[in-house]
Amino acid sequence: MTEQRQVFKTAAVGMALLGAMVWCRLDCGAVAAPRSTPSTHTASREKSFAPALHEKLTLKSAVAMLSSDQWQVRSRAQSFLMRENPSRLPAVLNDLRRTHNAEKANRLLKVALQLYLMARTPVLGGPVSFIGVRYNMQRVTVRLHGHHIACEAATVVAILPGFPAAAVLRATDMIIGINGRIFPLWMTAEAFRQQIQELKPGDVVRLSVIRGLAVVSLPVRLVGVPRDLGQLGAMLARRQAAAAAFVARYKR
């Protein structure tokens, strides 16, 4: 059992590092704050950011919003596009070819890569749940419901493209809880990984996330990965090759 855990731990770390390589070519990877430096964040209540917030958007309107002079508007539009059906990839690529705005092109390329990987290299299948991010643990203090709470946070430093989490999470997000349960101070990276593994692949979990100065509740669907290291490595190699070729073709 110990050997199986070590094998999966090694595979999961390798998976995050491998997948993050292509993603970081599109967006410089953020570096998590040192564990020894606590952060304080204030939030009067936890806000729920559900996909319903995007239901009035369309592909056309979201692409147009990517040209907004407001960062939040551009970010919302990209998040919506990342959730689009992979069948919309040709339309996204068409907009990518036509734009002359460098930032808009970068965002559209991220969206295109997400849709491409979801269609061409489907989410890995297997019995072990995986969230699809690389993270570091960091102690934080957050104000929730009128009280200051000290807890551990899994700070996202890289996100693997083609996984459901890539449409929801951002680098520098701090995950402080799962399904309403805030992490204790003794939470470790291994304990966080075990909590994810105890859930079922395909489950949609609600992550309590510090984003900016607020705590938001974000739904993220877990994926399943195999325990076998060789099988996992082969799948990752195919995904990495497909992603690298895609980026090389459309990167400006």
pLDDT digit string, tens, across residues 137-181: 999 999 888 889 999 999 999 998 998 999 999 999 999 999 999
Task: Give the integer Cα–Cα distance in Å for 41 and 211.
Answer: 9
> Span 212-241, mean pLDDT?
86
139: amino acid identity, one letter: R
Q: Mean pLDDT, the chain, as a whole number? A: 82
Q: Quote the pLDDT of residue 213.
A: 84
Q: Quote the pLDDT of residue 146.
A: 84
Helices (H) and strands (E) in the chain, counts: 7, 10
pLDDT-derived band of residue 234, with 50, 70 and 90 as boundaries? Answer: confident
Task: Give the integer Cα–Cα distance in Å for 225 and 244.
Answer: 21
Q: Quote the pLDDT of residue 78.
A: 94
pLDDT-derived band of residue 185, with 50, 70 and 90 as boundaries? Answer: very high
Q: What are the Cα distances from residue 199, in Å, to 24, 60, 158, 203?
A: 28, 37, 22, 7
Do the Cβ atoms of 113 and 27 come closer than 8 Å? Answer: no
pLDDT-derived band of residue 32, with 50, 70 and 90 as boundaries? Answer: very low
> Span 105-113, mean pLDDT?
96
Of 139, 149, 138, 182, the C-alpha closest to 32 is 138
> Span 206-234, mean pLDDT?
89
Q: What is the pTM of this model?
A: 0.77
> Span 181-207, mean pLDDT?
94
CATH entry, 2-250, from 3.50.50.60, 2.30.42.10, 3.20.10.10, 2.40.110.10: 2.30.42.10
> Of residues 202 and 227, which shows the higher confidence score?
202
Do the Cβ atoms of 86 and 119 come closer than 8 Å? Answer: yes
H or E stretch at 155:
strand 147-159
pLDDT at 52 over 90: no
pLDDT at 232 over 90: no
Question: Lowest mean pLDDT: which of 42-46, 139-143, 203-207?
Answer: 42-46
Q: Quote the pLDDT of residue 84.
A: 94
Q: Quote the pLDDT of residue 119.
A: 85
